[in-house]
Amino acid sequence: MSNALPKIAWIGLGIMGSPMSENLIKAGYDVTGHTLEQDKLDRLTAAGGTAAGSIAEAVADADVIITMVPASPQVEAIAYGPDGILANARPGALLVDMSSITPQTSVDLAAAAKERGVRVLDAPVSGGEAGAIEAVLSIMVGGEQADFDAAKPLFEALGRTIVLCGPHGSGQTVKAANQLIVAVNIQACAEAVVFLERSGVDLEAALDVLGGGLAGSTVLARKKDNFLRRDFRPGFRIDLHHKDMGIVTDAARTVGAALPVGAVVAQLVASLRAQGDGGLDHSALLRAVERLSVAQV
């Protein structure tokens, strides 16, 4: 690459992808995006990006291709086949998958891309919609050191904590652990909220003081208003956290790691989804605790 900023192709402009791509535009990058929803393409062009009508069109001249889609099947759909990324990216391009998928999918993608002369990093993120908007995401990366070094300026426009965790798939393994911790933390917060309210305590005051002590966490800070206002508009949907809990429980089984609390929370997430709340923010685990809590008579 020359001293000029690399040209970016961005595939997937959802809740996370749209603000992240816009932060790259603000940082001076030339971003061409593709997604299936016209309104998302319109938002990209309004921010100064370029809309592409297909994956092939988006990636043809790109130095770096960034993908942010929901799960492994979507990554495979956009990566493979005659209309996919690998068939249309130029040799030497860097593919950065920022989706949250299985570690094995990332390993397989890297191997397939290598045969095409395309370099790959798996780089899932944590921080939710707010972290994407504010460009303070935590980015956990798997792949080669040289490719990580090349992508780091891009990552610095998107996040604050940026770490190479190991070879291909390592970023996804760390993300799976992240999602385990987040789900258990939200569940604990939800149970505390119901306990506090049923005890007649001023909830806002209680959460303020808890947030300043050892019980404080990024989850509590970010989701406090969701709990207080019962505002479950999706920042990170239950549907996606259900997918991620499946990833971590399957991966843990493969390596022989017991997740007794994680397994219970995975079932609670699945139950909430089965009750029709899959489109809500994962802080809606509070709804499940409320349903389980029997009113005093």
Catalytic residues: 175
Q: If you search the block for the tokens 């406090």, which residue do you land on?
A: 224
Contact yes or no for 60/90 (Cβ under 8 A): yes
167/140 Cα distance (integer angstroms):
11
Q: Kindly state the tokens that stand for 128.
A: 């939710």
Query: Rounded to 5 degrees, what are φ and ψ at 264?
Result: -65, -45
CA geometry: angle 157, 159, 164, nearest 5 deg: 105
The CA radius of gyration of the chain, in Å to the nearest whole number, is 20
Contact yes or no for 123/169 (Cβ under 8 A): no
